[in-house]
A = this chain, B = another copy of it.
Amino acid sequence: MAKPFLLGVLGGMGPLAAVDFQHQLLQAVNSQSDQQQIPMVVWNVPQIPDRQQALAGTGPSPLPQLIDGIEKLNRVGASHIVMACNTAHHWFEALQAASQAPLLHIADATAEAVAALSPTSVGLIATQGTLDAGWFQQRFARHGIETLLPTATEIRDYFVPGCYAVKRGEVAAGGELLARQAQALLDRGAERLVLACTEVPLALRAADWQPPRKAIDPAEAMAALCASLWQQQQTLF
């Protein structure tokens, strides 16, 4: 007998993004009743080293805490595990190796959502670590889609201070800075934006900024993938 569907969400990076992602999961299921919603367990423990600092070599690795969360989610029967944080996907292979339950990769979910819109180019907003990893660009390229990246100056002046403002709770102020990053990519010709850092979509909303064409939110793409897996499973009964 297959394990019953139970979505494990590895959160804490940050705690607000994990709550936001749960909202997206509820919205992704077209539900007539509570009972039709995705059964889930959420490990939302933010006492974990900063991922960006770890990747920059200026802080400890978050891997031990990430593995601990993965073990806890497996211990209570998670059938699938997702992470509501793009940067944490740097440790994806190590976490998959530590997990009985399969992990779903956020870039796979995003590439599917982007390909469905058939743009010729996208602008990618993400941390330096995520940009360097290349997992979004590689997947978009497989669909013939060009990826435009932020410049070093934009990252220094807009992206990094914008994200840290959001983390401090200054969401609208952070959104103003992130909107400049977004606009810079549009000005260089990006047809669509991929907001591959969980702080970005909520900060842009708080700053009341939106692009001319709907941006792709990887967390939303992941939520849609989870909803689709859950609904497929239900039709088996």
Contact = CB atoms under 8 A, between A and B. Distances in A.
A169 B31 contact: yes
Contact of A26 (B19, B48, B167): B19
Contacts of A19: 19, 22-23, 26
Contacts of A41: 41-45, 72
B15 A26 contact: yes
Contacts of A46: 34-37, 39
Contact size range, A = 35 or more
A104 interface: no
Interface in A161-181: 167-169
A125 B14 CA distance: 34
Given A40-B44, A46-B39, A75-B75, A12 B26 contact: no
A228 interface: no
Contacts of A22: 19, 22, 44
A118 interface: no
A15 B43 contact: no
Contacts of A32: 168-169
A6 to B, nearest CB: 7
A67 to B, nearest CB: 14
A58 interface: no
Nearest to A19: B22
Interface of A: 6, 12-16, 19, 22-23, 26, 31-48, 72, 75-77, 167-169
Given A14-B34, A43-B76, 6 more contacts: A13-B34, A19-B22, A22-B44, A33-B167, A35-B48, A37-B46
